[in-house]
Amino acid sequence: MNNELVKDLKEWVVIYSSSHPLTEQMVKEFNEILSSHEHDKAVEPLVDGNTSDGYHTFNELYEHRIALYLVLCNIFPDKFWKSKKHEDGSSFDGWFILGGDLGTGNISYHLPISKWDIAECRELPLGKKWDGHTAADVVERLSRYHHIASEEKDS
């Protein structure tokens, strides 16, 4: 593999992982593929959950995001839903989808199944159709929802 291909693969993993959970096994297998090629010996390993910015690891930040998202869900349970299956019936073993219909657009994350009982919202047999939202869309929709939620609270 040439270095340009390795760079493209790493960029794909970062983009993919922003909307789909990467398991430790997936990261391990990706690193094994990269290191199995003679020309890749000089390529540094893929960033993993223990990578830190000097303050928090990615694993810690994911735990924070999960906790905050569950709090939001439980404050506004009528806006949220959960499902163990995607709209097409597929699923990720060990994960469920927690989605929200905020009025500013839909948001959703895959969460570890161990958090299932914490999400106090309606359960759907199949998740709602994904509208293609990106991580940037989620931030924008949450930011706009803040104004709607404040108005609802005041009325």
What are the beta bridge partners of residue 83?
Answer: 97
In a domain, 148, yes or no: yes
Q: What is the pLDDT of residue 49?
A: 82
Q: What is the pLDDT of residue 88?
A: 95
Same domain? For 147 and 89 the reply is: yes
pTM: 0.69
Q: What is the pLDDT of residue 1?
A: 47
Same domain? For 34 and 94 the reply is: no
In a domain, 54, yes or no: no
Tokens of 127: 């998740």
In a domain, 72, yes or no: no
CA dist list (Å): 118 to 70, 72, 74, 89, 115: 7, 12, 8, 23, 5
Q: What is the pLDDT of residue 48?
A: 81
In a domain, 50, yes or no: no
In a domain, 15, yes or no: yes
Task: Tell me which residue of 24, 32, 25 sits closest to 50, measured CA to CA.
Answer: 24
Same domain? For 83 and 33 the reply is: no
Domain that holds residue 89: 78-154
Compute the distance between CA of residue 42 and CA of residue 48 in angstroms, rounded to an integer: 18
In a domain, 129, yes or no: yes
Q: What is the pLDDT of residue 150?
A: 72
Same domain? For 101 and 34 the reply is: no
By the 8 A CB rule, do 70 and 105 touch?
Answer: no
How many CB atoms are closer than 10 A to CB 1? 15
Domains: count for the chain: 2
Q: Distance of alpha carbon 131 from its chain centroid, rounded?
A: 15
| Mean pLDDT, the chain cut into blocks of 10 residues (155 residues total) | 62 60 66 62 68 87 94 95 96 95 94 97 97 93 84 69
- Residue 86: φ, ψ to 5°: -70, 175
